Amino acid sequence: MQRKLLTRISKGRLFVLSFFLFSLLAISTKAQWITSPSTITVGVTAQYQYDDGVAYRNPSFVFSNGSVVSWTLSGTTYSILVNATTPGAGQLTFNYRSGYVGSTSMSIYLANYNLGGTYCTGSTATIQLDGSQVGVSYQLYRTQGPYQSPLAGTGGPLTWSGSGNSAYSVQATHTGTGYTQWMNSGQTANVIDPYPIQTKTVVGGGGYCAGGSGTSITLQQSELGSNYQVSYQLVDGVGNNVQSPKIGTGGDLTWTGITGASTYSVLAKNLSSNCTRSFSGPAVSVLPIPSVAITPNQSLCVGSTANLTITNPNGIAGTTFSWTATATNSGGVVLSGTGSSISQLLTISNNSFGDGSIAYTATATASGCSSSAGSTVTPMPCS
C-alpha cells in the first residue's frame, strides 16, 4: 500500500515537473512570434504582429517607450500599433491573463532631419535643419566643437546664423532621457560660396536734357563663368529693377535710355548659388533747358544801328548766349558772336550784308542743353 502511494506521488511530481519544463520551453519561443522592424522612430507609428497559432481571450500589450495605439485580431494573428515617445532601447510585451506570453526588443531613434546651409561672400552663413521635435534640443557643431546655444525643437525647421565657410553638423538630445543622436548619422553641411562674384565697376549716367532720350549706364567687363552664369540687374535708388537683367558675357554690359533721376547700382546674382553682390553706380539727373528771347522783328532806316538784346526768361544759372546773323541775299551766315546784346550799323553800300533783311538767331546754353529764338531786322531807305 505504501509502495503504491509513493509511486503515484512520484508520477505526479514527474508530471508537474514535465509540464513546468514544457511551459518554460514554450514561453522561451514566444518572442520569435512577435515580428516587427528592429528599429523605429519617435513620433512614428510602427506595427508589430504576434501569432503563435492561438487566439487568446482578453490579451494585453505593453510598450515600454510609448503607447499602444490599437490592436486587432485576424484568425490567430494580432496586429499591434505602437507610438514611440522615448528614444533608446524599447520592448513590446504580450500578456494573457496576467501571465507572460512573449516580448520583443527594438531600438528607438529620434527622427532624423536634413541639414543644409548657404553662404555668400560678404554675408552671414545660414544653416537650417528642415525639421525638429518638441521635447528635443538641437546643438549646432562646427569642426572646433559646439557652436552657439542649443535650440529647442518646435515641430518645424530650425535656423542658425553661421560666421562663414565651415562644415556644420547637429546633435539632438532628448530632454527627458538625455539620449543623444546626430542628425542623419552626423551629416555635415559644408557651407561655402563656391563661385564668389568678382568686383566690377559701373560707369556712365550723368545729366541729360529734359525731353531727351535719356542716358546710358555700363557695367565694365562682366563675368563669364565656365560652369555658372552671373546675371546683372540695374536697380534705381529706391530698389526698383530698371529694364531686364543681362547675363555676363565677359564684356561690357550697357543699359540705354535711362531717364529716371536717381542714383543707380547693379545687382549681380550667381545663378548657381543664388548669391548676390551689389555694385554702386552713377547718378542720373534731368537737366532743365534754358529758354531764350531776343528783341522782336523791326524795320530801321539805313544808316542807323540795329540794337538787339538776348535774355533767358527761365533764369537758368550759368546760361550763356551766342548769335548769328544771316542776310537774305547772302546765302548763309555772315556774322556771329557771343553775349547778350547785338549792335550792328545798317548801311546800303559797302556793308557786309548787302541789300535786304537780316535774320538774327540767338541761342541760350546751360550744361549742354540749349534753345534758340530768332528776330529779323529790315533796313529801309528813309527820306
What does the block give as the cell for 263?
A: 542714383
Q: Measuring CA to CA, which residue among 57, 83, 55, 79 is closest to residue 68?
A: 83
Considering the four listed CATH numbers 1.10.3470, 3.30.110, 1.25.40, 2.60.40, the one that applies to the domain covering 115-191 is 2.60.40
pLDDT of residue 23: 40
> Average pLDDT, stretch 192-205?
92
Domain regions of the chain by residue span: 26-109, 115-191, 202-287, 293-380
> Average pLDDT, stretch 304-329?
91
pLDDT of residue 20: 35
CA separation for the pair 55, 354 (Å, rounded): 134
CATH classification code of 26-109: 2.60.40.10
3-state secondary structure of 363: strand
| Burial status of residue 6 (CB atoms within 10 A of its CB: 0-12, 13-18, 19 or more) | exposed
CATH classification code of 202-287: 2.60.40
Would you say the CATH fold of 202-287 matches that of 115-191? Answer: yes
80-122 confidence digits (pLDDT tens): 999 999 999 999 998 886 566 788 899 999 999 998 888 888 7
Diameter of the chain measured on Cα atoms: 188
Length of the chain: 383
- What letter does residue 31 receive in the DSSP assignment? G
Pick the more confident residue, 95 or 349: 95
How many angstroms separate the Cα of 325 from the Cα of each of 213, 279, 308, 342, 358? 31, 51, 11, 10, 6
Beta-bridged to residue 159, according to DSSP, are: 128
- Amino acid found at 293: A
Pick the more confident residue, 25 or 268: 268
CA separation for the pair 299, 329 (Å, rounded): 17
277-300 confidence digits (pLDDT tens): 999 999 999 999 999 999 999 988
The band of 5, judged by pLDDT with boundaries at 50, 70 and 90, is very low
- In CATH, which superfamily holds the domain spanning 293-380? Immunoglobulins (2.60.40.10)
> Average pLDDT, stretch 202-219?
97
3-state secondary structure of 16: helix
Beta-bridged to residue 198, according to DSSP, are: none
Other C-beta atoms closer than 10 Å to the C-beta of 145 total 7
Q: Tell me which H or E stretch contains 349.
A: none
